[in-house]
A and B are shown apart, each in its own frame.
Chain A
Amino acid sequence: MLPFVLIERLSMTLDRLTMTLQLLQQTCVYLVIAYLLSRTPLFIPLMNVTVRPSHKAAAYVIFSMFCILGTYFGLQFDDSIANTRAIGAVLGGLLGGPSVGLAVGLTGGLHRYSLGGPTDVACAISTVTEGLIGGLMHRHYVGRRQFDRLFDPWRVALVTFAAEVAQMAIILLITRPFEVAWSVVDHVALPMWIANTLGAAFFMRILQERRLLLERQSSVFSTKALKIAARAEGILRNGFNEDTTKRISRIIYEETGVGAVSITDRDKILAFIGLGDDHHLPGTPIASEQTLQAIIHNQVLYADGNETDYHCSLSPTCPLGATLVIPLVGEDEQVIGTIKLYEPRNKLFSNINRTLGEGLARLFSTQILAGRYDEQKQLLARSEIKLLHAQINPHFLFNTLNVLSSIIRSDPERARELVLHLSTFFRKNLKRPTEEATLGDEIDHVNAYLQIELARFADRLTVKFDVPDPLRSVALPAFSLQLIVENAIKHGIAHMIEAGVVRIEAKEEAGVLLLSVEDNAGLYGGHDHGDGLGMNLVDRRIRNRYGDSYGLDVSCKPEVSTRVTMRVPIQLVAA
């Protein structure tokens, strides 16, 4: 008897071990499916503890599917099924909360019930219970805000094991006759405990892995993006040219680690850094078909060298084998150039760098736009100057004509001289081929102007020049002296009741030209504030051109004198 019993026990144990192994095999297939699905966007809602209804719905659908899958992947035993249904129900509850757990359990349970057998009711009830157990665990950890514990495979294993124990208890309690229940439990308990516990733990491990990967990717991505953005800050505001694009390319090259980086405008390469820089030379016209297409169609083009062919159009020995071309977009959606990333033949284009490339192109487009805006502002300032050149004060013009009509009567010869001065003044005003003039030119202009004012004010104005001849060829911004002298007359002398004196002096001091205009009115900044704009423009223009140690300096002793001194470096204009 004893040996028979032993043999009997041994064969029973073997049976169960076989069944366990078979169920584990099924679980493996089940997990492979889970693994494959985890690579799809379908699983993204499961990566976090879900609160949003849409995510909860996704969790319900996915885990219900796994729940039913668990039933189909089960092993028939008599009329019952050893299965891995519990994994779907428990995980559904764990990640989606009690409601999702309950719903998944009900779905899986009803499905199981529809298949019939002696344990159908018990199995249906226990599946719902398992879903609820997962849900309660969810509530427990969420309440303590210990989200990470929900993703801990060990804890998941424990819960699943507990749920399976509960299932067996429910089968024993509900299924009648009890002998049948006992027989079923006796046979499937061990395989199901092992398979479900391990299966749930591995399933969670898959999720956990995905989650870590996503996090790492996004943190690498944002770190890179932030670093590049910080280093590139403001560079393109200085213009979209070979110098600035070279600096930007260098930054992208260093931060992304791609094989090479290039920036082009619509026609030519502006900058190229990295592999192949021996034949990809800045300044040469764009040769690559991809780049031309990207510019024409305002489209990101990707030639991975595999599906889409890429060959360097310049050199057959070029190591580069893949390229990503991203258009840079300026005003009105106009493509103003491209950023190109390259990888050599033996390297794959990382997804991160592709996405990053597109984001950077947007960032730089914005910067270029900002730069253009700055440039426009400067242009505007320049045109303000032009306006001042051309703008002749109507009071000056009509007063001059009035004086002329008087002098024509009294002294025709003098009137002729005045007409000549007036034409010199207008000619100088209208015709300014260059933005730079010599001091001599400026003095001639100012002299013509002052001759007219002398006629107007007669003995109320005296003019004194002290300009050494050698300094007459020093360069200075056109029209600047004229503006200062005009100010001294218009806002100084013209407001004096007693006799006015204007003194114009030029001297050299340590390589700097000091040009001063002094009046004896001393009214600067008072009474009428009209003297601001023109003087500011002159000051700004000198600073822009020669640096901040040059410019205008105003000193005013109220009611006594105003002295405006211009400082410019001594640079001679070739005759």
Chain B
Amino acid sequence: MIRALIVDDEPPALSELRVLLDEAGNIDIVGEAGNAVEAIAAINRLQPEVVFLDIQMPRISGLEMIAMLDPSHAPRIVFLTAHDDYAVQAFEENAFDYLLKPVDPLRLGKTLQRLQRDRAPQDVGLLKRAHPLRQIPCSGQNRISLLRVEDVEYVASRASGVFVVGEDGKERFTELSLRTLEERTSMFQCHRQFLVNLDHIQELRFEEGGLGRIVTLGGRTVPVSRRFLALLKEKLGVD
């Protein structure tokens, strides 16, 4: 059984896809998502082998979403689109396959056969070449906001999740992993649990035991571990 996640913002489209996959058999639908943020969370949580991903979705399209996936456990992607404008680009983004909606069961069958044959994990190296992130999706109470990377002061990873702190000092929850953010943005890892935006550093204080402490332009502090201090000094051009 192939573990699959299905993602589409239109409920009837989701149920249609579910029916088709059920009919095809040998597929275990482990979850559904109605938008990119839900999808990222579901992928992190459920670690499916394949994601059937609609391209046209609110705020963050399917194409944009791939760049936000944690490269350490990236599933294979089968894109779905109503119109083949995006087909070429979809393959450039290293999709496994793409399907046109409404989906033809025979065509879906071929995709599933290929998936069955080729169960090797997605080539992580290819995904790394994806475009750098310009915005970070953050989920609030009932909204998703997109925070521009240059407006972020630092990112903190806690037991409760990854939080992005903007210039306003507000902490926003994001589904993206610290590793994704480190790889896809220009932010600098200064601690096992922290990324900092170098453009927002006001002060670097040195503390006992080879530790450091960053004071941001907004006056908030970010710890620097021994491991990253030397590299940080080099980055900032101080000795």
Q: Do A and B bind each other?
A: yes
- Chain A residues with CB under 8 Å of chain B are 394-395, 397-399, 401-407, 409-410, 455-460, 494-498, 527, 559
9 intermolecular pairs with C-beta atoms under 8 Å apart: A395-B56, A398-B102, A402-B10, A407-B12, A456-B13, A496-B58, A497-B58, A497-B59, A498-B143
Contact with A along B1-20 (1 / 0, CB 8 A): 00000000111110110010
Q: Is the CB of B102 within 8 A of A495?
A: no
Q: Which chain A residues lie closer than 8 Å to B34 at the CB level? A: 497
Task: Give chain B nearest CB distance to A570 CB in angstroms.
Answer: 38
- Chain B residues with CB under 8 Å of chain A are 9-13, 15-16, 19, 34-35, 37, 56, 58-59, 82-83, 85, 100-103, 142-145
- Pairs A-B, 7 closest by C-beta atoms: A406-B16, A398-B82, A406-B12, A402-B101, A394-B83, A458-B11, A402-B102
A494 to B34, CA, bound (A): 12
A230 to B65, CA, bound (A): 63
Task: Give chain B nearest CB distance to A509 CB in angstroms.
Answer: 34
Closest partner residue, chain B, to A498 (CB atom): B142
Q: Is the CB of A403 within 8 A of B10?
A: yes
Q: Is the CB of B100 within 8 A of A398?
A: yes
Closest partner residue, chain B, to A496 (CB atom): B58
A406 to B16, CA, bound (A): 5
Q: Which chain A residues lie closer than 8 Å to B103 at the CB level? A: 402
Label chain A's interface by main secondary structure: helix
Q: Which chain B residues lie closer than 8 Å to A402 at the CB level? A: 10, 12-13, 16, 82, 101-103
Task: Give chain B nearest CB distance to A96 CB in angstroms.
Answer: 79
Q: Which chain A residues lie closer than 8 Å to B16 at the CB level? A: 402-403, 405-406, 409
Q: Is the CB of B101 within 8 A of A410?
A: no
Q: Is the CB of A398 within 8 A of B15?
A: no
Q: Which chain B residues lie closer than 8 Å to A496 at the CB level? A: 58-59
A78 to B154, CA, bound (A): 125
Q: Which chain B residues lie closer than 8 Å to A495 at the CB level? A: 58-59
Closest partner residue, chain A, to B141 (CB atom): A498
A409 to B9, CA, bound (A): 19
Closest partner residue, chain B, to A400 (CB atom): B82
A47 to B174, CA, bound (A): 91
Task: Give chain A nearest CB distance to B11 CB in angstroms.
Answer: 4
With A397-B82, A406-B13, A495-B59 already in contact, 12 other A-B pairs whose C-beta atoms are closer than 8 Å = A394-B85, A395-B83, A398-B83, A399-B13, A402-B16, A402-B101, A407-B12, A410-B15, A460-B11, A494-B9, A495-B58, A559-B143
Q: Which chain A residues lie closer than 8 Å to B59 at the CB level? A: 495-497, 527
Q: Which chain A residues lie closer than 8 Å to B19 at the CB level? A: 406, 409
A409 to B11, CA, bound (A): 14
Indicate which residue in A394, A395, A405, A460 contacts B102 across the interface (CB closer than 8 Å): A405
Q: Which chain B residues lie closer than 8 Å to A398 at the CB level? A: 82-83, 100-102
Q: Once A and B bind, how many residue pairs between them come within 8 Å at the CB atom?
A: 75
A457 to B56, CA, bound (A): 13
Task: Give chain A nearest CB distance to B79 CB in angstroms.
Answer: 14
Closest partner residue, chain B, to A410 (CB atom): B15
Q: Is the CB of A494 within 8 A of B58?
A: yes
Closest partner residue, chain B, to A456 (CB atom): B10
A459 to B34, CA, bound (A): 12
Task: Give chain B nearest CB distance to A317 CB in angstroms.
Answer: 75
Indicate which residue in B13, B35, B83, B145 contacts A403 across the interface (CB closer than 8 Å): B13
Q: Is the CB of A458 within 8 A of B101?
A: no
Task: Give chain A nearest CB distance to B89 CB in angstroms.
Answer: 15
Task: Give chain A nearest CB distance to B171 CB in angstroms.
Answer: 19
Q: A398-B82, A398-B83, A398-B101 are in contact. Are A497 and B144 (CB under 8 A)?
A: yes
Closest partner residue, chain B, to A394 (CB atom): B83
A394 to B81, CA, bound (A): 11
Q: Which chain B residues lie closer than 8 Å to A395 at the CB level? A: 56, 82-83
Q: Which chain B residues lie closer than 8 Å to A399 at the CB level? A: 10, 13, 82, 101
A408 to B59, CA, bound (A): 29
Q: Which chain A residues lie closer than 8 Å to B145 at the CB level? A: 559
A401 to B11, CA, bound (A): 14
Q: Which chain B residues lie closer than 8 Å to A410 at the CB level? A: 12, 15
Closest partner residue, chain B, to A409 (CB atom): B19
A498 to B102, CA, bound (A): 25
Q: Is the CB of A497 within 8 A of B143?
A: yes
A397 to B83, CA, bound (A): 9
Q: Which chain B residues lie closer than 8 Å to A494 at the CB level? A: 9, 56, 58
A478 to B9, CA, bound (A): 31
Q: Is the CB of B12 within 8 A of A403?
A: yes
Task: Give chain B nearest CB distance to A531 CB in angstroms.
Answer: 16
Task: Give chain B nearest CB distance to A110 CB in angstroms.
Answer: 91
Task: Give chain B nearest CB distance to A201 CB in angstroms.
Answer: 90
Q: Is the CB of A456 within 8 A of B12?
A: yes
Q: A395-B82, A405-B102, A497-B35 are in contact. Are A458 and B12 (CB under 8 A)?
A: yes
Q: Which chain A residues lie closer than 8 Å to B10 at the CB level? A: 399, 402-403, 456-458
A394 to B37, CA, bound (A): 26
Task: Give chain B nearest CB distance to A255 CB in angstroms.
Answer: 61
A499 to B13, CA, bound (A): 17
Q: Is the CB of A394 within 8 A of B11?
A: no
A207 to B133, CA, bound (A): 87
